[in-house]
């Protein structure tokens, strides 16, 4: 059974195109790694918005995800109800994006997850307005973003505090995000197969997937004769992992056959 892996996408409303690209990237990676993980994006657009609560109440907190992706440009977002949502230091109000980042950051500091990826568009922001009030609101959004950025990421002048990623257009963002997420997912594969030391001793470690490919294990290259042999050893049932990790079938097959293959090949 594939292990669940949730990727939370957080952003204000000025990067809608990038959010769509992020959902496409997660979908591609979900197909690429389907043998190992059930990868799902977490976006508010995919959730039923119930009138019984606030928008933020409906979304599962990013602290429960495995990876959080934050996308920023010229806004920080809409403030949340102060009586229910506060910043990591107790301040209020905070915006939805701000709270989601800090919720994930707090969890990462406490238990090492989720992983956080932050992307900022480095082109000039665009303000659309029909009144002075709307123009002032856009300026306040920019100011709030700069204060948030200085608090967590710093600058060349004040000194950088944490790593982030810059992009200029949607295509660059998509390529960058896919590369980064694929690397984080690949890092989880050895953990998924933790304890399978017999694989390397028998020369059956296999290879991790490249873009658009699934992993291939040498045991699969031995042909269907291995599968029929394993089926007979298991009384007609498929291979089962015995190490306490939900391994992919090919890994389980490798474990069962490692001793005999090792003997045959010397």
Per-residue pLDDT of 178-188, as tens digits, reads 999 999 999 99
- Is pLDDT at 257 greater than 50 in this prediction? no
3-36 pLDDT per residue, tens: 999 999 999 999 999 999 999 999 999 999 999 9
Own/partner contacts of 192-196, CB < 8 Å, gap of 24 or more, are: 192/3, 192/36, 192/245, 192/246, 192/247, 193/245, 193/247, 193/251, 194/243, 194/245, 195/243, 195/244, 195/245, 196/243, 196/245, 196/247, 196/251, 196/254, 196/255
Query: What is the mean predicted confidence (pLDDT) over 155-171?
Result: 94
Q: Where are the alpha helices (DSSP H) in the chain?
A: 16-32, 55-58, 96-111, 132-152, 170-192, 197-201, 218-221, 224-233, 249-265
Query: What is the mean predicted confidence (pLDDT) over 228-237?
Result: 40
pTM of the model as a whole: 0.70
- Structure-model confidence comparison of residues 192 and 243, the more confident one: 192
Query: What is the mean predicted confidence (pLDDT) over 55-62?
Result: 77
Proportion of the chain above pLDDT 90, given as a percent: 55
- Is pLDDT at 50 greater than 60 in this prediction? no
Name the residue ranges covered by the structural domains of the chain. 3-189, 196-265
- Is pLDDT at 176 greater than 60 in this prediction? yes
Query: What is the mean predicted confidence (pLDDT) over 191-211?
Result: 49
Average pLDDT, the chain: 77
- Structure-model confidence comparison of residues 190 and 228, the more confident one: 190
Sign of the CA dihedral 169, 25, 193, 110? positive
- Is pLDDT at 112 greater than 70 in this prediction? yes
Domain 3-189: CATH architecture, name and number where available? 3-Layer(aba) Sandwich (3.40)
- Is pLDDT at 230 greater than 60 in this prediction? no
Q: CA-based Rg of the chain, rounded to a whole angstrom?
A: 23
pLDDT interval class at 58 (50, 70, 90): confident
- Is pLDDT at 209 greater than 80 in this prediction? no
59-69 pLDDT per residue, tens: 889 999 999 99
């Amino acid at each position: 059974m594939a292990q669940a892996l949730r990727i939370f996408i957080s952003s204000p409303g000025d990067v809608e195109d990038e959010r769509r690209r992020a959902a496409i990237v997660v979908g591609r990676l979900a197909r690429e790694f389907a043998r190992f993980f059930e990868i799902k994006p977490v976006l508010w657009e995919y959730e039923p918005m119930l009138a019984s609560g606030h928008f933020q109440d409906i979304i599962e907190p990013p602290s429960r995800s495995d990876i959080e992706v934050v996308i920023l440009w010229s806004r920080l977002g809409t403030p949340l109800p102060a009586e229910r949502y506060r910043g990591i230091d107790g301040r209020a109000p905070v915006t939805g994006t701000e709270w989601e980042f800090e919720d994930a950051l707090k969890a990462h500091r406490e238990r090492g997850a989720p992983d956080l990826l932050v992307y900022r568009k480095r082109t000039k922001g665009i303000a659309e307005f029909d009144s002075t009030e709307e123009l002032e609101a856009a300026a306040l959004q920019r100011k709030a973003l700069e204060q948030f950025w200085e608090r967590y990421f710093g600058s060349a002048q004040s000194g950088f505090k944490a790593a982030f990623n810059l992009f200029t257009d949607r295509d660059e963002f998509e390529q960058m995000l896919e590369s980064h997420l694929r690397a984080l997912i690949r890092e989880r594969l050895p953990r998924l197969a933790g304890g399978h030391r017999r694989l390397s001793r028998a020369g059956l470690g296999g290879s991790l997937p490249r873009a658009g490919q699934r992993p291939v294990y040498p045991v699969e290259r031995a042909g269907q004769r291995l599968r029929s042999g394993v089926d007979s050893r298991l009384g007609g049932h498929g291979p089962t992992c015995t190490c306490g990790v939900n391994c992919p079938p090919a890994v389980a097959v490798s474990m069962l056959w490692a001793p005999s293959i090792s003997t045959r090949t010397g």
